[in-house]
């Protein structure tokens, strides 16, 4: 009996001794210099995919500035960890997929083209100041990072383009593109041609400095989920651009900096939570400007500071709670409609009416805040009325030099 048990025990012992380890694989490019599936491109001499070479799992390192084409045949490919270095590029080729089970640290560019990249683990991070993500032609790209900084690149930094294309970043809470390259370059987060960018967890944004800006762009049925965006800060510059495709900002409550809404003719934008917009400190022109025949509804807005109001022909701005309008300019003419609350503070602002428009203010004093030269209050044309009868004192005590 013992003679029969010994071989069985030996087999069990051998099976019990099988183990696996996590192996670090570093890209060298010593093979063909591009293909992930070429073992000669890796320092370990094998293709690092979990389960492809026995039970081993892999931490994959793609060094700074290296470009890798993920072209491994088949489906269900996994690695345990991925480090993509600064300026590195990982292209997931058409029809391929890669999942990072544990953590994906992205400091370069990841692209999917009718392919899939899944780095959605909560341990995943964006590092450095130049990560970028592109999903094209039905590609899907998911990442679990909570904060994102890109102060190096202009042009598209996050993009979903084409039907079915998805960049999914639901845990991302903040975006920072605080750069000044000179001139007026724009960094863009774009959803085009029915692509989707999921930023449903995003709460805060900081844009560019000086003439630079960050643009959120929706075109041709694309969508960017900004349902949680609450604040635009840092006295920086942000644009929202749409060709008429829906743009929703239901939670945006405060703006500190300059925002430009670049909207299509006839487009309506609702800002139901916006209460405070302060353009002070930004070198950009802060505006609140409905497009031609368009409408902006901001009926919770109480305070505008250093913001200019211009309304396109046939356009409407509804701000029924607005009481404080300081250091801004309001230009209102024929075929332009403005509704405000009682304007109790207009210090430092200019109000220029024409074309039969009428406006009354409730302020009792006016101080130009050493801010105004040129026309301050005008009413031009038949039937145009600017009622300042509540104001009992005005202070224009300033010295700008010369004779302004």
188-237 pLDDT tens trace: 999 999 999 999 999 999 999 988 999 999 999 999 999 999 999 998 99
Residue 32 lies in a domain: no
Q: Provide the pLDDT for residue 374.
A: 82
Across 36-75, b (16+ Cβ under 10 Å) vs e yields bbbeebbeeeebbbbebbeebbbbbbbbeebbbbbbbeee
Distance, first Cα to last Cα, the chain: 113
Which pairs from 93-96 meet CB under 8 Å and 24+ separation? Answer: 93/69, 94/137, 96/70, 96/71, 96/72
Does 200 map to a domain? yes
Question: How high does pLDDT run on average in the chain?
Answer: 93
- Residue 166: phi and psi, rounded to 5, are -140, 125
Residue 110 resides in a domain = no
Q: At 67, is the pLDDT very low, low, confident or very high (cuts 50, 70, 90)?
A: very high
**pLDDT at residue 20, rounded to an integer:** 65
- Tell me if 55 is assigned to some domain: no
Q: How many domains, in total, are found in the chain?
A: 2
CA dist 226 and 216 (Å) reads 10
| Residue 9 in this model has a pLDDT that exceeds 50 | no
Say how far apart CA 183 and CA 166 lie, in whole Å. 32
Same domain for 232 and 340: no
* The pLDDT value given to residue 4: 47
Residue whose C-alpha is closest to residue 129's, from 102, 147, 111: 147
> Which residues are registered as beta bridge partners of 295?
268, 316
Claim to verify: residue 245 and residue 342 sit in the same structural domain: no
For 7, the enclosing helix (H) or strand (E) is: helix 2-16
pTM for this predicted structure: 0.92
Among residues 231, 252, 273, the one where a domain terminates is 252
Do both 403 and 307 map to the same domain? yes
For position 314, what pLDDT does the model report? 98
Of 399 and 76, more confident: 76
Are 277 and 296 a contacting pair, CB within 8 Å?
A: no
Question: By the 8 A CB rule, do 107 and 130 touch?
Answer: yes
On whether both 213 and 295 belong to a single domain, the answer is no
pLDDT at 169 over 60: yes
Do 314 and 394 belong to one domain?
A: yes
Q: How far apart are CA 303 and CA 306, in angstroms?
A: 10
Assess whether pLDDT exceeds 80 at residue 7: no
pLDDT at residue 370, rounded to an integer: 76
Q: Give the pLDDT confidence score for residue 398 in this predicted structure.
A: 67
- Provide the residue range defining the domain that includes 361: 289-404
Residue 173: inside a domain, yes or no? yes
Domain membership of residue 85 (yes or no) is no
**404 in a domain, yes or no?**
yes
Same domain, 312 and 388: yes
Q: Would you say residue 16 has pLDDT above 90?
A: no
- pLDDT for 399 equals 63
pLDDT of 17 > 50? The answer is: no
Instruction: Indicate if the pLDDT at residue 371 is higher than 80.
Output: no
Confidence at residue 6, expressed as pLDDT on a 0 to 100 scale: 44
| Whether 230 and 317 share a structural domain | no
What per-residue confidence (pLDDT) applies to 283?
73
Which token pair is 246?
């829906």
Q: Look at residue 2 in the predicted model and tell me its pLDDT.
A: 40
- Residue 404: the pLDDT is 57
Task: State what percent of residues in the chain have pLDDT above 70.
Answer: 93
Same domain, 241 and 164: yes
Which pLDDT value is given to residue 10?
40
Q: What is the pLDDT of residue 19?
A: 54
> How high is the pLDDT of residue 282?
76
Residues 293 and 242 grouped into a single domain:
no
Least confidently predicted of 111-125, 302-316, 326-340, 370-384: 370-384
* Within a domain: 71: no
Determine the pLDDT at residue 281. Answer: 79
- Indicate if 246 and 339 belong to the same structural domain: no
Select from 290, 396, 376 the least CA-distant residue to 338.
290
- Summarize the confidence of residues 99-111 as an average pLDDT: 99
CA distance 94 to 165: 13
Q: Confidence class of residue 8 from pLDDT cuts 50, 70 and 90?
A: very low
pLDDT in tens, 324-364: 999 999 999 999 999 999 999 999 999 999 999 999 999 99
- In this structure, the answer to whether residues 403 and 328 fall within a common structural domain is yes
Which range (14-23, 166-175, 319-328, 361-370) has the least confidence?
Answer: 14-23
Q: Let me know whether 160 and 246 are in one domain.
A: yes
Is residue 14 very low, low, confident or very high in pLDDT (cuts 50, 70, 90)? Answer: very low
């Amino acid at each position: 009996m013992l003679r029969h048990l010994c071989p069985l025990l030996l087999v069990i012992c051998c099976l019990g001794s099988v183990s696996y380890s996590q192996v670090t694989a570093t890209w060298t490019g010593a093979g063909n210099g591009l293909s992930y599936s070429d073992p000669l491109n890796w320092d370990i001499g094998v293709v690092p995919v979990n389960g492809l070479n026995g039970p081993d799992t892999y931490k994959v390192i793609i060094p700074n500035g290296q470009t890798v084409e993920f072209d491994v045949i088949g489906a269900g490919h996994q690695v345990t960890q991925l480090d993509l270095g600064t300026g590195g590029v990982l292209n997931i080729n058409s029809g391929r997929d890669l999942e990072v089970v544990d953590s994906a640290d992205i400091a370069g560019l990841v692209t999917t083209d009718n392919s899939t990249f899944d780095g959605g683990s909560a341990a995943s991070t964006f590092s450095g100041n130049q990560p970028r993500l592109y999903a094209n032609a039905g590609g899907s790209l998911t990442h679990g990072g909570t904060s994102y900084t890109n102060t190096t690149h202009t042009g598209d930094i996050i993009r979903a383009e084409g039907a079915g294309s998805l960049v999914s970043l639901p845990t991302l809470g903040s975006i920072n593109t605080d750069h000044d390259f000179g001139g007026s370059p724009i960094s863009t987060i774009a959803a085009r041609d029915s692509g989707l960018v999921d930023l449903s967890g995003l709460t805060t944004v900081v844009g560019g400095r000086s003439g630079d800006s960050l643009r959120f762009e929706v075109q041709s049925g694309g969508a960017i989920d900004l349902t949680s965006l609450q604040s635009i800060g840092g006295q920086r510059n942000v644009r929202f651009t749409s060709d008429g495709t829906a743009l929703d900002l239901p939670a945006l409550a405060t703006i500190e900096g300059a925002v430009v809404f670049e909207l299509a003719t006839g487009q309506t934008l609702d800002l139901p939570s916006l209460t405070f917009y302060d353009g002070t400190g930004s070198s950009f022109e802060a505006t609140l400007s409905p497009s031609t025949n368009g409408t902006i509804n901001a009926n919770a807005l109480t305070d505008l500071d250093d913001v200019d109001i211009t309304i396109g022909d046939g356009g409407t701005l509804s701000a029924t709670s607005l009481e404080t309008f300081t250091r801004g300019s309001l230009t209102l003419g024929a075929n332009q409609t403005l509704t405000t609350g009682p304007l109790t503070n207009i210090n430092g602002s200019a109000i220029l009416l024409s074309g039969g428009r009428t406006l009354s203010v409730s302020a009792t004093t006016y101080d130009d805040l050493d801010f105004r030269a040129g026309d301050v209050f005008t009413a031009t044309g038949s039937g145009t009325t600017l009622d300042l009868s509540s104001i009992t004192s005005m202070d224009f005590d300033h010295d700008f030099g010369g004779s302004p």
